[in-house]
Amino acid sequence: MNALLMPLIAAQGLWVRARTEVLPEAGGPTTGTVGEGAPGTPLRIAVLGESTAAGCGVDSHDEGFPGSLARALSERHGAPVTWEVVGQHGATGRRVRHRLLPRLGRDYDLAVLLAGSNDVLGRRAPEEWGEDLAAILDELADRSASVVVVGIPPFADFPSLPSALARYCAERAAAADRVSRTVCAERPRTTFMGSTDIMEITPEFFARDGFHPSAFGYGRWARAVSDHLSSGGSRPGGTA
């Protein structure tokens, strides 16, 4: 990014912060079950991370990423899916690592990490993000049979961000995602999925703040993750 644009980017950041509505986290239960009564062996999934894990943009976690992913996996594998979520608005990788991860349970078939956006917005170095991510994944590997890291949604498509700020954030997000790919590749049973690789972002993806997903957006995002995860013909945990 051209250094001459930094004053403009800083000004746009202040403008966005002042004008963007702060949506609350989703309410209701942080656990649930989908597909009760289905004949297959039950799956246990966990979602961990920042505001997208916390469900900002929807009223309940059932409408957010955890419930949407559970429905997609249940439909695909014909089995009940039990989900749990631990998330927090504004959480960086460091907060996820030290504050949120210890609250997560164990013995999952799949754990999904939604994080990194706040590290980009907070101008944390990619190396700092990578250090926290590695520690998170090492701990998740003890709690779950398989782990998925979902890449940062494309800032360039966010309706709430002016063009210069969006390009700046997109460049920093790409750098963070490159680190994520490397860290994930070094660990067995861990998969990185780039958000821009698995789906197209359209205007209806966003909630009214133009920043977080809507119920439609969470559903589309979760289904894209489920489709990508299941493309090899196996279900989470490594069984057919």
- The mean per-residue pLDDT over the stretch 211-234 comes to 88
Residue 159 domain-assigned (yes or no): yes
pLDDT tens for residues 60-100?
999 999 999 999 999 999 999 999 999 999 999 999 999 99
pTM of the predicted structure, to 2 decimals = 0.92
3-state secondary structure of 16: helix
Q: Nearest-CA neighbor of 206 among 223, 219, 196, 192?
A: 219
- CATH number of the domain residue 141 falls in: 3.40.50.1110
Cα separations in angstroms, 145 against 97, 126, 130, 181, 185: 19, 27, 22, 19, 16
Residue 106 domain-assigned (yes or no): yes
Q: For residue 173, how many other CB atoms are within 10 A of its CB?
A: 24
Cα separation of 192 and 147, whole Å? 9
Instruction: Tell whether the model's pLDDT for residue 240 goes beyond 50.
Output: no
CA 170 to chain CA centroid, Å, is 16
pLDDT tens for residues 147-199?
999 999 889 899 998 888 999 999 999 999 999 999 999 999 999 999 877 77
* Structural domain of 94: 3-10+25-230
Per-residue model confidence (pLDDT) at position 2 = 56
Residue 19 domain-assigned (yes or no): no
Residue 212 domain-assigned (yes or no): yes
